[in-house]
């Protein structure tokens, strides 16, 4: 039987990504930036895809020479196909895709504009589809790959004033499960991470009273950190999760329990 030191060494290797080619959409800030940093710190080559070219370049520069920036709107089919083609050519393939790009346009349903619905569905759901499809081309040739889609607990429980966001994130969950069944035979896994309330620009803008009310519904009594979500993403992308596919992993402090 392996000794404890050997087991620890094997476990540590599972969370190393030396030379792995990783794409993170929405990787220039918040949760996406944390995911990109964690992969880079573990030896991965990281492509950051973001709509804002300047932000993408700054985020990639902060990671060093093994990171590259690509500007694209994930809802634009031509831009996505061209971008992922450029990434695969530069890196020689794609091993891991993290679909993290997403937006909100919150409002009560009777006040919600049609364009607010369309923009959220285009970025969050259509963007996930387009990027997954583009990444699958090199993954299918390799007969290996990991796709991790960032959804939300709102896609599981709903939320007043977020009908468009909830629908898009619930759609990502169903899409992930369907994708997992399609590509499993080719050595590719597809899973989702569902964050709860994470300490980002959005939560920092909330009033003290609003934060207090929200925290009352979280059993662990705190907002999550972007690094909490990144840890879950890295697990699902690692060898430790080789036998997990079609799963939704909540990172919410118990909010949706």
Catalytic residue numbers, as ranges:
165
The pair of structure tokens assigned to 115 is 């364009």
Q: Please, are residues 45 and 24 in contact by the beta-carbon 8 Å criterion?
A: no
Nearest one of 116, 111, 133 to 25, comparing CA atoms: 133
Nearest one of 56, 186, 177, 166 to 106, comparing CA atoms: 166
* Cross-strand pairs, 24: 48, 98
Write the DSSP symbol of residue 110.
G
CB atoms within 10 A of CB 157: 14
The answer to whether the Cα torsion of 145, 70, 134, 99 is positive or negative is: positive
Rg (CA), the chain: 18
CB atoms within 10 A of CB 104: 18
* Cross-strand pairs, 195: 251
- 85 CA to centre of own chain: 20
């Amino acid at each position: 039987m392996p000794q404890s030191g050997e087991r620890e060494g094997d476990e540590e290797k599972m969370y190393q990504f030396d030379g792995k080619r990783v794409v993170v959409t929405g990787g220039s800030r918040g949760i996406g930036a944390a995911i990109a940093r964690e992969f880079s710190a573990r030896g991965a080559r990281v492509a950051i895809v973001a709509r804002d070219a300047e932000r993408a370049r700054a985020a990639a520069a902060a990671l060093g020479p093994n990171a590259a920036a690509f500007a694209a709107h994930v809802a634009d089919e031509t831009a996505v196909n061209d971008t992922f083609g450029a990434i695969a050519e530069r890196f020689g393939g794609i091993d891991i895709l993290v679909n993290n790009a997403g937006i909100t346009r919150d409002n009560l349903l009777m006040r919600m504009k049609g364009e607010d619905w369309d923009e959220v569905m285009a970025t969050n759901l259509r963007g996930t589809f387009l990027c997954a499809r583009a990444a699958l081309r090199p993954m299918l040739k390799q007969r290996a790959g990991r796709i991790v889609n960032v959804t939300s607990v709102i896609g599981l429980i709903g939320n007043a004033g977020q009908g468009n966001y909830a629908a898009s994130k619930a759609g990502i969950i169903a899409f992930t499960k369907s994708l997992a069944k399609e590509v499993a035979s080719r050595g590719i896994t597809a899973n989702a991470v569902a964050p709860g309330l994470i300490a980002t620009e959005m939560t920092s803008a909330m009033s003290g009273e609003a934060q207090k009310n929200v925290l009352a519904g979280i059993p662990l009594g705190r907002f999550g950190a972007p690094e909490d979500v990144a840890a879950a993403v890295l697990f699902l992308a690692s060898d430790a999760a080789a036998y997990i596919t079609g799963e939704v992993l909540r990172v919410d402090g118990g909010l949706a329990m």
